[in-house]
Amino acid sequence: MTKDEIIGWFNSAPKGSRHERMLWAARKIAHLTEVTEGRAYQMLLVVLIEAERRPPDEYLDALTGG
């Protein structure tokens, strides 16, 4: 499962607190990937932290001249 797919599951979670959305997404990811819910939660957490650290696309476009 790609990072974009993992973020997609988080974004498609029903409205609620961030933690509730992460739990919902982790259950779905665990079911699809056959890993434990705890492992899926860890994967989701790492991907979300990495995504939050990325600069916005506009910033990247300015750096690359795109």
pLDDT, one tens digit per residue, over 5-63 is 999 999 999 999 999 999 999 999 999 999 999 999 999 999 999 988 876 665 555 54
Place of tokens 């056959």: 34
d(CA 20, CA 46): 17
CA dihedral 24, 30, 36, 39 (to 10 degrees): -80
Whether the model pTM is above 0.75: yes
- Residue 9 is predicted with a pLDDT of 94
Concatenate the DSSP letters of all residues of 6-53 into one string.
Answer: HHHHHHTSPSS-HHHHHHHHHHHHHHHHT--HHHHHHHHHHHHHHHHH
